[in-house]
Chains A and B, each alone.
Chain A
Amino acid sequence: MDGATATGVPGGEVLIALVDAALGRDEATLVQARAAVRASLGLAALIDATAVIGGFDGITRIADATGIPLEPPKAEQTADFFAALGIGQFRAEKV
């Protein structure tokens, strides 16, 4: 989750950098990140990638603002990396 681990996804590094920049506050970093995605994956990919960023910036708020639980089958399937990534810490911070 720290972005340092190789993803195995083509273009993964520039896409993660784009997400981090898009949700950050540094405009210069975002400009660079956009350029990197456009150069390596193309303009259409840049648009669609930023659309996904926007969509998930919204949907995470719906999930957290309504308290919906993860479905049991999904929880079982993801238990190993849930623990490995320390996702349970998020739950502990809710007040």
Chain B
Amino acid sequence: MIREDLTNAQTQAWQRLAAPGTWWTGAEHVAIAAEARYARDCAFCAQRAAALSPLAVAGTHDRLDSPLPDAAVEAIHRIRTDPGRLGETWFLRLRAACLSEEAYVELVSIVAVVTAIDTFRHAAGLEPTPLPAPIDGAPTHYRPRNARPGLCWVDTLAPEDVTPDDPDLYRELPGPRERYGANIQRALSLVPHSMMHWWDLLEALYQSSREMRDFDREYRAVTHPQIELIAARVAALNRCEY
């Protein structure tokens, strides 16, 4: 019933979730994923989402018992339950609470991965996939030398600034470049493996850039216009301007 590449992409995403990352351990990855699922039933989040402004409601999150710092839990819950009203002031408060931008980017990618897979499976009538058992190991703490501020709230690595030390996050090799560096592709580039992990999954759920632009051929059982209609409707319901 499910395309093989889509099944493989989910399996790979879960394996990567279990493994140590760049700024979080495997156990922390799984804790972030679990918290992202738990956030959907958080009463405080529900009150805030319903309020005219999230600032109008005070309270504390219903959270799981984990070593994740409060700033991370706040990030996970807001991204999961009220993403359309996230602002830079909110992000800067997280930074002030000692959540580094690198750790934040990796956390965003995990919430996105879990949300994407859970939403897909729920919409399709499939059972949710149990979270994986974490794998021991230390994070790499790799930060691209040429990541720089200016595009968005976090530093990013533009395709033209990639060095031989960086992973092939824009798929330049052997060429031509497959991820051409649109802002949405640069968003997670401060943590290259998070960026790559997310886009590997998204391209199986949606389409690659090349497939998206090939209007002479349909790569899915839904057409290009149908795909974009679906995408636009999701974006509208999530109040996403981009």
From A20, A34, A66, A95, contact of B237 by CB (8 A): A20
Please encode chain B, from 93 to 127, with 1 for each CB lying within 8 Å of some chain A CB and 0 for all others.
Answer: 00000000000010011011101111111111100
Whether A94 and B86, one on each chain, are in contact in the complex, defined by CB atoms closer than 8 angstroms, is: yes
In the complex, B227 has a CB within 8 A of chain A: yes
- Taking the closest CB of chain A, its distance from the CB of B223, in whole angstroms, is 8
- Segment with Cβ contacts to A, from B16-24, B139-147, B148-156, B165-173: B148-156
Whether B108 and A59, one on each chain, are in contact in the complex, defined by CB atoms closer than 8 angstroms, is: no
B-side interface residues, number (CB < 8 Å): 72
Docked Cα-Cα span, A20 to B242, in Å, equals 19
- Taking the closest CB of chain B, its distance from the CB of A49, in whole angstroms, is 5
Main SS class of interface, B: helix
Whether A48 and B182, one on each chain, are in contact in the complex, defined by CB atoms closer than 8 angstroms, is: no
Known: A51-B206, A62-B112, A95-B87. A57 touches B238 (CB 8 A): yes
Nearest A residue (CB) for B236: A1
In the complex, B187 has a CB within 8 A of chain A: yes
In A65-95, the 8 Å CB interface with B consists of 65-71, 85, 87-88, 90-91, 93-95
Point out the residues of chain B lying under 8 angstroms from A93, CB to CB.
53, 84-85, 239
In the complex, A53 has a CB within 8 A of chain B: yes
Known: A93-B84, A95-B54, A95-B90. A55 touches B239 (CB 8 A): no
Whether A34 and B125, one on each chain, are in contact in the complex, defined by CB atoms closer than 8 angstroms, is: yes
In B220-242, the 8 Å CB interface with A consists of 220-223, 225-227, 229-231, 233-242
- Taking the closest CB of chain B, its distance from the CB of A41, in whole angstroms, is 7
Whether A10 and B226, one on each chain, are in contact in the complex, defined by CB atoms closer than 8 angstroms, is: yes
- Taking the closest CB of chain B, its distance from the CB of A4, in whole angstroms, is 12
Nearest A residue (CB) for B241: A90
Whether A16 and B229, one on each chain, are in contact in the complex, defined by CB atoms closer than 8 angstroms, is: yes
Point out the residues of chain A lying under 8 angstroms from B58, CB to CB.
none
Point out the residues of chain A lying under 8 angstroms from B183, CB to CB.
68-71
- What residues make up the interface of B, taking CB atoms closer than 8 Å to A? 1-3, 6, 53-55, 75, 79-80, 83-91, 105, 108-109, 111-113, 115-125, 151-154, 182-184, 186-188, 198, 201-202, 204-206, 220-223, 225-227, 229-231, 233-242
- What residues make up the interface of A, taking CB atoms closer than 8 Å to B? 1, 3, 7, 9-12, 15-16, 18-23, 30-31, 34, 41-71, 85, 87-88, 90-91, 93-95
Contacts A42-B221, A65-B75, A69-B151 aside, 6 further interface pairs with beta carbons under 8 A come to A30-B122, A48-B221, A51-B204, A67-B87, A94-B84, A95-B53
Q: Which 10 A-B pairs have the closest CB atoms?
A: A54-B120, A58-B116, A55-B205, A44-B221, A22-B123, A94-B87, A60-B240, A50-B123, A56-B234, A63-B242
